[in-house]
Structure 1
Amino acid sequence: MDISLHKKRIVTAIGLALIPILALVFQGWVFFTVLALFCSFTLWEFYNLFKSHQGIKTVKSLGAIYTFLLLAAFSTGNLLYPALVFMSAFWTAAFIFLFRYSTDLNASFVQAMIFLTGLLYIPVNFHFFLHFNRWECALVIGAAAISDTAAFYSGSLWGKKKIWPKVSPKKSWAGSIGGMTACTVLISVYGLIFGHASLWQWIFLGIILNIAAQMGDFFESALKRSLAVKDSGSILPGHGGLLDRVDSMLLVVPAYGLMRMVHPYFQ
């Protein structure tokens, strides 16, 4: 294992952990602002994966605006408002395509699809944070972090047989099992101390969240490979871009959002 890479990953992870910790301490508009900015930068990286497509600069600018609008709408607790904002985003993209097509018959609707997919992928998935309490925010962040970290180190130490080489050549069965084990243990211990559910319910939740984390990771890996991109960015030493760091969390957050509707883990 590259020692310098190992140190970079640790320093970067600690630095990233401070952001949600501070936001959770202050809550309110501070938390909203941090979440909106984080989503905007991550969405910018997502759109940048498609930089070879015409008109992607317009898409990136619109994405930042609609990220704030969507999160503000979701924060009201009334689903009518985010539905209206997303409808507005669709028609904005549609009219941009319409005017381009009126002057260029080769204009493509692909930019609009990338724009709308990005909004669904990042701010819509992350909006659940606005309705989680401190314990739940810590739970989903911890589940994603321990899944990635344990998978990385167990895979580096013992990984030989690859789990899905066509999608992600470096990920192994040892890494997958290590991530699953660590996530389940962490969630169970954390839940029994701070939450309200039986041991088996916490174990089941840990398994579900780890599966979500791994699928989120695989999805972004497949997306980058299909676009011949190694990393979504270079802002995080040892990790690549923000999207590379939170790809697993993008499925963990909505997965927990669904699970908490079935059982109130933190009353």
Structure 2
Amino acid sequence: MDISPHKQRIATSAVLATLPALALIFQGWVLFAVLALFSVLTLWEFYSMFRPVQSMTAFKSLGAACTFLLMGAYTTGDARYPGVILALAFWASSMVFLLRYNKDVTASYRHAAVFLAGLFYIPLNFHFFLYFDRLEILLVLGAAVLSDTAAFYAGSLFGKRKIWPRISPKKSWAGSIGGMTACTVGTMAWGLFLGLPEVAWWKWLLLGMALNVAAQMGDFFESALKRSLDIKDSGTILPGHGGLLDRVDSLLLVIPCYGLISMFQPFFP
């Protein structure tokens, strides 16, 4: 029986939702394991977007090791730990380049640069979840999901005028406004019912707007990246969605955006 792409998207989203649900229920090592596994798979997918894939094998293995080390930063309680890991990753990838250049003077530093970009782009952002509590994790996930889902349906129903056709031909102003509205309303509702009582409603409003802008820009960035590499999807692992990175591109910018804002304005008890 043939299943429409739309139904595939819904089924895939439902299955994916079980992973964060389990992580939130059990937290601890379950949350660590889910984040680490998801980060590694998404990171490998990111590396595979840059061809030839064979030349990224060493960096894929090194990236997996760095991912687990970054996730382990939470257990140390030392704020310097992620920076040390990233510094060592820089030097490790640079040494790989050095050894290759010694054998072949035409060797490029491009793969080392892609390796480092992948670490900053995916596991570094995901590891911040370990510092959020349940309410914050649900807020960040909800903001990204509401932004994407509302934008998709609003754009499908009313989208005519495109925002940035050179980057993403299907994204419309109607979809952008729909995503902004859903994210802002959802953030305000979540915060006013469960957040700190002293946080004014307009702060939740501004937070929702900021998270939606982050979600949209994260989506646009990945679209531009795929176009520059002349590929349609980041992968094929998710029916109806493409790759893992296609599913979390907006989330990857929402996470640090919320993390930065919450440093100056706490929202939850």
Moved more, 166-175 or 79-88: 79-88
Partners of 2:76 and 2:21 in 1: CA distance:
23
Partners of 1:151 and 1:108 in 2: CA distance:
40
Q: Against the structure 1 CA distance between its residues 237 and 53, is the aligned structure 2 distance closer, same or farther, given a 3 Å change threshold?
A: closer
What is residue 184 of structure 1 aligned with on the other side? 184
Q: CA deviation at 1:52?
A: 2.4
Partners of 1:34 and 1:116 in 2: CA distance:
22
Question: Residue 78 of structure 2 aligns to a residue in which SS?
Answer: coil
Amino acid at match of 1:192: L
What is residue 213 of structure 2 aligned with on the other side? 211
Partners of 1:116 and 1:148 in 2: CA distance:
27
What is residue 76 of structure 2 aligned with on the other side? 76
CA contact (8 A) 2:74 2:131 kept: no
Q: CA deviation at 1:13?
A: 1.1
CA contact (8 A) 1:53 1:111 kept: no
Amino acid at match of 2:236: S
Q: CA deviation at 1:73?
A: 2.0
Q: CA deviation at 1:107?
A: 0.5
Partners of 1:106 and 1:75 in 2: CA distance:
42
CA contact (8 A) 1:143 1:210 kept: yes
Q: CA deviation at 1:82?
A: 1.6
Q: Provide structure 2 residue ranges, at least 5 long, that are not aligned to the other structure.
A: none
What is residue 241 of structure 1 aligned with on the other side? 243
> Residues 64-103 of structure 1 correspond to what in structure 2 (within 5 A)?
64-103=64-103
Partners of 2:77 and 2:245 in 1: CA distance:
27
Moved more, 243-252 or 14-23: 14-23
Q: 1:254 aligns with which of 245, 251, 256?
A: 256
Cα deviation code 1:137-188 (max 9, x no counterpart): 0000010001000000100110000000011011000000000000001111
Q: CA deviation at 1:76?
A: 2.3
What is residue 231 of structure 1 aligned with on the other side? 233
Answer yes or no: is 1:117 the counterpart of 2:117: yes
> Residues 149-188 of structure 1 correspond to what in structure 2 (within 5 A)?
149-188=149-188
Normalised by the size of structure 2, how large is the TM-score?
0.96
Cα deviation code 1:67-99 (max 9, x no counterpart): 001111244231222222111111111111111
What is residue 25 of structure 1 aligned with on the other side? 25
Amino acid at match of 2:79: L
Partners of 2:159 and 2:75 in 1: CA distance:
43
Amino acid at match of 1:153: Y
Partners of 1:54 and 1:7 in 2: CA distance:
35
Q: Provide structure 1 residue ranges, at least 5 long, that are not aligned to the other structure.
A: none
Normalised by the size of structure 1, how large is the TM-score?
0.97
Partners of 2:163 and 2:69 in 1: CA distance:
39
CA contact (8 A) 1:54 1:111 kept: no
Matched-pair identity in %: 62
Q: CA deviation at 1:232?
A: 0.6
Partners of 2:8 and 2:94 in 1: CA distance:
43
Cα deviation code 1:94-152 (max 9, x no counterpart): 11111111110000111110000100001111111010000000000010001000000
Partners of 2:182 and 2:81 in 1: CA distance:
39
Q: CA deviation at 1:54?
A: 6.4
What is residue 264 of structure 1 aligned with on the other side? 266
Equivalences, count: 265
